[in-house]
Amino acid sequence: MRLISSPPTLYDVQYFRLPRIWRHSKQKCLWYVETNYHLSSSIPVVRRAFPGALVFHIVRDGREVVTSWLNRFRYITNDHITPYNVPGDPAQALWPQWNPVQKLAWYWKTVNETAERNSPDMILRFEEIFRGEKKGCFAILDKFEGIEYDRKAVEAQLNVRVNLNKLDFFPKYPEWPTMWKDQFWEIAGEGMKKYGYGERESSSLESTG
C-alpha cells in the first residue's frame, strides 16, 4: 500500500524479487506468470526487479467488481487501500461516512488510475480476454517472443471458471436500489465511461426494466 504514494526502495525491489526467483527455481517451466491485483502500485518495482518483464493491467466492469468484493466482505470486515494511503486524496474527508459500495467504487477507480499512471505494457478489459472471441488473451500471448501455444487449448482453459463466490448475499447490479447505483456512478462514473462501460442509465429506463 505504501508504494501507491512513494517510490520503491532497493529493499522493496529485493523483497519482491528474491522470493519469486526462489519459487520459479523449483518449477520446471520456461515462464513465470503472476496474477496479483495488489500490483497496480508496484509496477515500478516489477520493472526494476525484472527488467525484461511484461506487465498487463486488466480492467473489469466496476459494477461486477463491487458486487464480487462485497460478497467477499471487502470494506465490511476487512479493508485494502484507503484514501489515507494516498496523500491529498479528497476522499479522505468522506471515507468515515461512506458505505462499502462507495468505498469499493473508490477502490476500483483508484486501482485503475494508479496502474495506468505506472504505464503497464498493455491495458485490456476483462471481457476482451474471457468473453466473445477472447482476442485480448491472444494479444497478450503474442507479446511474448518465441512462445508457442495451441489456440484451441487456450480457449478451452479460458472457459473454465475459477474463484467462484461461495456465498452471494449481495445482489447483482440490476437489483441494487437507486441510491446505491447513484453512489457508485458518482465516484466511478468517469472511469466507467473511459474504459467503455457506458454511463449511468436513466431512472425512466430502470423503472421500465
Domain residue extents for the chain: 2-197
pLDDT of residue 209: 41
pLDDT of residue 190: 96
pLDDT of residue 132: 87
Confidence of residue 73 (pLDDT cuts 50, 70, 90): confident
Confidence of residue 130 (pLDDT cuts 50, 70, 90): confident
pLDDT of residue 163: 64
pLDDT of residue 116: 95
* CA angle, residues 138, 54, 150, in degrees to nearest 5: 30
> Is the pLDDT reported for residue 104 higher than 90?
yes
> Is the pLDDT reported for residue 199 higher than 80?
yes
pLDDT of residue 128: 93
Confidence of residue 64 (pLDDT cuts 50, 70, 90): very high
What is the C-alpha to C-alpha distance for residues 40 and 42, in angstroms, rounded to an integer? Answer: 6
Confidence of residue 186 (pLDDT cuts 50, 70, 90): very high
8 Å CB contact between 66 and 53: no
- Mean pLDDT calculated for residue range 154-181: 84
Query: Grid coordinates representing 14?
Result: 529485493
Amino acid in position 1: M
- Mean pLDDT calculated for residue range 21-25: 87
Mean pLDDT of the chain: 88
Nearest CA-CA partner of 101 in 197, 1, 178: 178
Residue with cell 426494466: 209
